[in-house]
Amino acid sequence: MQTAVLTDVEEFEVRERARPEPAAEEVLVAIRDVGICGSDVHYYEHGRIGDYVVEGPLVLGHESAGEVVATGEDVDSVSVGARVTLEPGIPCRQCAHCKRGEYHLCEEVEFMATPPHDGAFAEYVAWPADFVYELPESVSTREGALCEPLSVGIHACRRGDVDVGDTVFVTGAGPIGLLVMEAARAMGATDVLVTDVVESKLDRAEARGADLTIDVTQTDLATAVDEYTDGVGADVVVEASGAKPSIKSTLDGVRRGGTVVLVGLADEAEVPIDVLDVIDNELDVHGSFRYANTYDAAVDLLADGTVDVEGIVDFESSLDDIDAAFRRSMEPDTVKGVITMED
Ligand SMILES: NC(=O)c1ccc[n+]([C@@H]2O[C@H](COP(=O)([O-])OP(=O)(O)OC[C@H]3O[C@@H](n4cnc5c(N)ncnc54)[C@H](O)[C@@H]3O)[C@@H](O)[C@H]2O)c1
Ligand SMILES: C[C@@H](O)[C@H](N)C(=O)O
């Protein structure tokens, strides 16, 4: 089978590898669509993300969906021919975190395309049957692949306890910010405010239903949020840019007693925030890391049309053109590219 292997910084090779055999509890999936995530692009550009260093040939890609073509002998939950989306993190299933249901916090988790674990830019992937989710007919495999970033959005909104009638303020209109916006709407938020520094990103957010978009290079964020909320502030702020000034500004947008959810990963781990502000205003500040128990919800939201992930896709490309696709993904206007493999 063909795989796109990252062999060096900014260097892919499309290589032949042996098609994997599914173990007893696994299914073999013929991959159809794989989204290009910011973290894939970061590994491509820099060969590392923090302590995760690419030390050998690595297959990237963790936003994937395809068709089951074989099943291991112990699998009865899914059949050959089913179209499925693959949840990319496999936990140990034994530790205290796994047993509490917070399996995304498992220290032993093996996450696709996080060194040393290979990802899904490949014709076939063998994957545990309990971490694939069947797609109904109305959901394409391209949409199915995007259950992954949608899951990040759902988890962030769950962490923020987004509720009916809430005003949610999202900083950063990349794929994650846009899907936080979608998830917040699905959970009942009535007003969604979005910031960015790139005009086309804000146009996209507006076209997808943002009630107010704020270009923070032109407009003072605190004033804009104050005006929109009659001086109260947003119930929940979700930081989805990873930009240091944006992380600091979350406290300017949230109401007293409100919640800040930090999703974006800053280049530097330390970003000073005003703790007196947090205490005086009794803010809840939550980290949000990946997701757990979100895939069923993501598939349902796509199936009934509550959430549209197609609107974040800019282009589709093939495994053979993966290098050009990654270059295009590095452009500031691009939100999401998808690698598609024909059956
Ligand atoms: N916590 C998690 O589990 C998790 C999961 C996925 C991604 N992430 C992180 O979330 C962040 C968003 O992911 P993405 O894929 O959408 O990234 P992205 O880079 O595509 O989007 C970030 C957006 O923020 C905008 N931006 C830059 N500076 C800004 C500022 N000062 N104010 C407002 N917006 C600004 C950019 O123009 C861009 O549109 C990244 O930091 C990513 O690493 C975290
Ligand atoms: C969660 C996922 O989308 C993220 N890029 C990660 O590797 O953690």
pLDDT in tens, 219-238: 999 999 999 999 999 999 99
3-state secondary structure of 199: helix
For all residues of the chain together, what is the average pLDDT? Answer: 97
Nearest to 165, CA basis, from 250, 235, 243, 116: 235
Q: How remote is the CA of residue 39 from the centroid of ligand 2, in Å?
A: 7
Does residue 287 register a pLDDT over 80? yes
The answer on 157 and 141 residing in a single domain is no
CATH of the domain at 235: 3.40.50.720
Residue 300: per-residue pLDDT: 98
Q: Is residue 9 part of a domain?
A: yes
Mean pLDDT in residue range 267-296: 95
Residue 83 lies in a domain: yes
CA distance to 18, 151, 250, 285, per residue, from 277 (Å): 56, 30, 11, 11
Percentage of the chain surpassing pLDDT 90? 97
Helix (H, G, I), strand (E, B) or coil at 101: coil
**Complex ipTM more than 0.90, yes or no:** yes
Using the mean position of ligand 1's atoms as its centre, give its distance from the Cα of residue 147 in Å. Answer: 17
**Are 181 and 256 contained in the same domain?**
yes
Query: What residues contact 301, with CB distance under 8 A and at least 6 apart?
Result: 150, 154, 182, 183, 186, 307
For residue 192, being part of any structural domain is answered with yes
Summarize pLDDT for 155-195 with one digit per residue, the tens: 999 999 999 999 999 999 999 999 999 999 999 999 999 99
The reported pLDDT for the residue numbered 342 is 82
Residue 296 domain-assigned (yes or no): no
Structural domains counted in the chain:
2
Whether residues 22 and 140 fall in one domain: yes
**CB environment 87-96: b (16+ within 10 A), e (fewer):** bbbbbeeebe
Residues 14, 73 within the same domain: yes
Q: What mean pLDDT is predicted for residues 70-81?
A: 98
300 in any annotated domain: no
Q: Above 80 in pLDDT, residue 91? A: yes
Amino acid type, 80: V
Range of the domain at 243: 153-287
CB distance 64 to 143 below 8 Å = no
The CA distance from 163 to 148, in Å, is: 22
**Judgement on whether residues 15 and 133 belong to the same structural domain of the protein:** yes
| Nearest-ligand number for the alpha carbon of 170 | 1
Per-residue pLDDT band for 108 (boundaries 50, 70, 90) equals: very high
Q: Are residues 32 and 57 in the same domain?
A: yes
Question: Tokens in use for 23?
Answer: 């173990």
DSSP 3-state assignment of 211?
coil
| pTM reported for the whole predicted model | 0.98
Residue 343 confidence (pLDDT) above 80:
no
**Per-residue pLDDT tens over the stretch 13-52:** 999 999 999 999 999 999 999 999 999 999 999 999 988 9
CB 31, CB 123: distance < 8 Å? yes
**Ligand 2 contact, 39 CB (< 6 A):** yes
Q: Any idea which ligand is nearest the CA of 88?
A: 2
Q: Do 6 and 142 fall within a single domain?
A: yes
Spatial separation of the C-alpha atoms in residues 53 and 329, rounded to whole Å: 21
For residues 131 and 168, state if they share a domain: no
CATH number at residue 97: 3.90.180.10
Quick one: 101 and 161 in the same domain?
no
What pLDDT does 148 receive? 98
In a domain, residue 293? The reply is no
Ligand 1: which of 112, 263, 328, 329 to mutate, judged by most atoms within 8 Å of the beta carbon?
263
Work out the burial of residue 49: count CB atoms within 10 Å of its CB; fewer than 13 is exposed, 13-18 middle, 19 or more buried.
middle
Q: What is the mean pLDDT of residues 309-313?
A: 96
How much is the pLDDT for 60? 98
33 and 160 housed in the same domain: no
**Residue closest by Cα to atom 13 of ligand 1:** 176
Q: 122-155 pLDDT, tens per residue? A: 999 999 999 999 999 999 999 999 999 999 999 9
* Predicted local confidence at residue 261, as pLDDT: 98
For position 269, what pLDDT does the model report? 82
| Ligand 2 centroid to residue 40 C-alpha, Å | 9
Residue 87 has pLDDT above 90, yes or no: yes
State residue 190's pLDDT score.
98
